Chains A and B, each alone.
Chain A
Amino acid sequence: MMKKFLKQIGFLALPLLVVACLLEVLIRNIPNDYSLKKNYLDKNAAHIETLILGSSHSFYGLDPTFFSSKTFNGSHISQSLKYDLEILKKYENDLKNLTAIVLPISYFSLSEKLENGIESWRVKNYKIYYEIRTSNAYTDCSEVLSVKLSKNLYRLFLFYINKHSPITCNHLGWGFNYKSENALDLIESGKKAAQRHRASQYQNTFDENVAVLNNLVEWSSERNVSLILFTPPAFESYQKHLDKKQLNATVEIAQEKALAYENCSYLNLLDDSRFKANDYYDADHLSEIGAKKLSLLIDKQIPNLK
């Protein structure tokens, strides 16, 4: 009887397992930003002089094309400091020519973590594609286990049938999707983004992120690498709705690091008047026009430190 029962269960489970494995293989073969960045770093880490890390603010806001040194943008949407540090650690032996790291310290950088936000589904990308052990959840080892079936089927449809590439960055890692011609309503997006970035569980996450930032500063200091911290520009509708306490605490930490470490500098561009409405895609992200402006501005900071 038990044999019969196990046979029946096997009969039901086996096709599901086969389909799941097939899906996993097919999805993993779809190129994506993370695998593209990992492949670039695997091949070119030794030549990189400036490495950009951080969240969407640097992913869309810093285009390596406008940097005078050999630059790569290793940032991605909601990439929190822990992931920046893990990327550095993974390639520390390969980044032989690294002279500068550019890292945004945005309003939310110290009060949010990728794991806790609405973008937490991206955690698996670091485990699967970057091969970085950032989470203990076994579901993060698999596309099938971590993403809903309907979404995975849609991804397969888009890539294999519609021939649509899911890549959203160029070969140097800059996110090109935020085009000025598609810019969003700056007033509405500013209010929404500020609300979204307001920390709910402030203190614990803040302390954890400060500890990671300390490690990042130490890491660059030990290797005599310049660390350029900057708070990216944002439209006034975003600035207006920010929580002053959260903002000040974040800025103070960045200033502290710049004062304490010789290799570290900090630039607060949050309300920089050089950035106008047409530089933005939405209230807290730059379009390709703003990205050029910011990239040239940050690039100027690098020789100052050398």
Chain B
Amino acid sequence: MLFNSLDFAIFLPVCFFIYWFLTHKNLRFQNLSIVVSSYFFYACWDWRFLSLILFSTLVDYTVGIGLEKETNKSKRAALLWTSICVNLGFLGFFKYHNFFLENFSSAFSLFGSEIKTTSLDIILPVGISFYTFQTLSYTLDVYKRKLQPTKDFISFAAFVCFFPQLVAGPIERATNLLPQFTKKRNFDYEKAVDGMRQILWGLFKKIVIADNCAQYANLIFNNSTDYSGSTLVLGALFFTFQIYGDFSGYSDIAIGTSRLFGFHLKQNFAFPYFSRDVAEFWRRWHISLSTWFRDYLYIPLGGSRGNKWQKIRNTFLVFCISGFWHGANWTFVIWGFLNACYFLPLLLKNNNRRHLDTVAQGNLLPSLKEFFSILITFGLTVFAWIFFRAENTSHAFQYIAEITSTSLFEIPKFEGMRNAVTTLFLTFLFVLIEWNGRAGQYGIQHMLLRWKKPMRTAFYFTIIIGILLAGGKEQNFIYFQF
């Protein structure tokens, strides 16, 4: 059930009605209704994998309670490792089994010994990377005694499977989300209206920007040998906006939906393409994942403390693992490695926390220096996305080789170029709106708050009609595959 489908448009009001009207605002019933709705939502993808979620939930719930009672250090560590092994075991098997098998086989063949391997026909359970990390954050926080484990199984199950963020995040911390399941929730008009606005903007990003850009990105990447360097640059740009519109659009819908149910999820994207350096980009892109890696991997490894070599090691480890989290393909690892290369000079020169504020705050336009900083960061990001989107490493290198050839100076040309101009125009308008709203939680938040009601209503209808008229061919959310 996609967020941009009619199924979801029916599912959401039904859940909303049950949640606020049939449960009589009883917390336990509300949480139960979330569990049932979420399991139904997940079963629409593949009911067989519900058992995985249930098993993860049971294990982490039990481990959590065990960790609280247990005082013996080694027994606590054993409990923690049980949770880590179960969660990462599932993830490893479903996501990385074939990758490791194929790579071991290739590595052995390099030394002249052939080993026979049989790849398994494994279906990747949707959202496994997201809910696995979310439940892991719970056990890790309970282990560190940062969080009291919950004894209410329904609340915990609801925290694990909360449908708005179950299949593609944001990866919520137990410290933020779990307490919300144990507190009484009252309907808040302002929050609900803001949530609806965020959903609307998320749908616009996904359906109008991402799905339209996807058509051209797919065409150009899938037939990259047929096109000139300039067309390939355009293809990379289309993908850059596709992935942003797709994933940040999904996050907006998830956050907005949560608000309808009285929950507050953390911001997952904060206008990353307006970043002035790569460090700022990573504070603004997929924030829930970046902070997860920061808190549970980078800092335990020593973070930016220690000597130069430790800093370098930690940076590369975190970026490469983060890349690998996205998929069992070397292209993702290289993408992570590239970002580490971008980030490292900033870290070593202690410049990685230079830009903590909003760019050109209070000004209509950025300064020339800011503009060029944004442009360079954007260019580096676009370059890295080529690896992220490519089928394999040789495809990525072939793509880059063509870009660096003389055909870069030819006029871009591909099938459907005329319609692509409309998409480019829409994307330009979208960037302007996002720039205007960069101080808010999402692009249109502040703008709408300043407007009077008739203007706001007209804007809602314009966006709805825009979605219905200019929407691209329905595409799956990219992050569902991760």
Contacts and interface: CB of A to CB of B under 8 A. Distances in A.
B196 A148 contact: no
B471 A5 contact: no
Given A149-B468, A149-B469, A150-B469, A5 B6 contact: no
Interface string B173-197: 0000000000000011100110010
B376 interface: no
A5 B469 contact: no
B479 interface: no
A43 interface: no
Interface stretch (A8-16, A24-32, A175-183): A8-16
Contacts of B468: 148-149
Contact of B189 (A4, A138, A148): A4
With most chain A CB atoms within 10 A of its CB, the pick from B192, B464, B469 is B192
Interface in A128-180: 138-139, 145, 148-150, 153
Most central of A4, A16, A148 by chain B CB within 10 Å:
A148
B188 A1 contact: yes
A1 B189 contact: yes
B192 A5 contact: yes
A39 to B, nearest CB: 30
A5 B460 contact: no
Contact of A12 (B6, B460, B471): B460
A139 B189 contact: no
A18 interface: no
B20 interface: yes
Given A16-B464, A139-B6, A1 B187 contact: yes
B193 A8 contact: yes
A5 B187 contact: yes
Nearest to B472: A148
A139 B2 CA distance: 15
Contacts of A12: 457, 460-461, 464
A2 interface: yes
A2 B20 CA distance: 9
Contacts of B192: 5
Sorting the interface of chain A by its residue count into under 10, 10 to 19, 20 to 34 or 35 or more gives 10 to 19
Contacts of A5: 187, 189, 192-193
Contacts of A15: 461
A138 B196 CA distance: 25
B191 to A, nearest CB: 10
Contacts of B20: 2
A12 B187 CA distance: 20
Interface string B416-459: 00000000000000000000000000000000000000000100
Interface string A30-61: 00000000000000000000000000000000
A255 B356 CA distance: 74
Nearest to A2: B187
Nearest to A150: B469
B196 A9 contact: yes
Interface string B357-395: 000000000000000000000000000000000000000
A197 to B, nearest CB: 20
Nearest to B460: A12
Interface string B309-349: 00000000000000000000000000000000000000000
A137 B282 CA distance: 41
Contacts of A139: 6
Contacts of A1: 187-189
B193 A145 contact: no
A150 B468 CA distance: 8
A7 to B, nearest CB: 11
Contacts of A138: 6
A2 B196 CA distance: 14
B260 to A, nearest CB: 9
A15 to B, nearest CB: 8
A149 B469 CA distance: 6
Nearest to B474: A148
Interface string B183-213: 0000111001100100000000000000000
B414 to A, nearest CB: 17
Interface string A230-253: 000000000000000000000000
Nearest to B21: A2
Contacts of B464: 12, 16
A148 B472 CA distance: 10
A12 B459 CA distance: 11
A227 to B, nearest CB: 39
B456 to A, nearest CB: 11
Contacts of B460: 12
A294 B470 CA distance: 44
Given A1-B188, A138-B6, A153-B469, 4 more contacts: A1-B189, A2-B20, A2-B187, A9-B196
10 contacts: A2-B20, A2-B187, A4-B189, A5-B192, A9-B196, A12-B464, A138-B6, A145-B6, A148-B471, A149-B469
Of all A-B residue pairs in the complex, the 7 with the closest CB atoms, nearest first, are A1-B189, A149-B468, A2-B187, A150-B469, A5-B192, A149-B469, A5-B189
Interface of B: 6, 20, 187-189, 192-193, 196, 457, 460-461, 464, 468-471
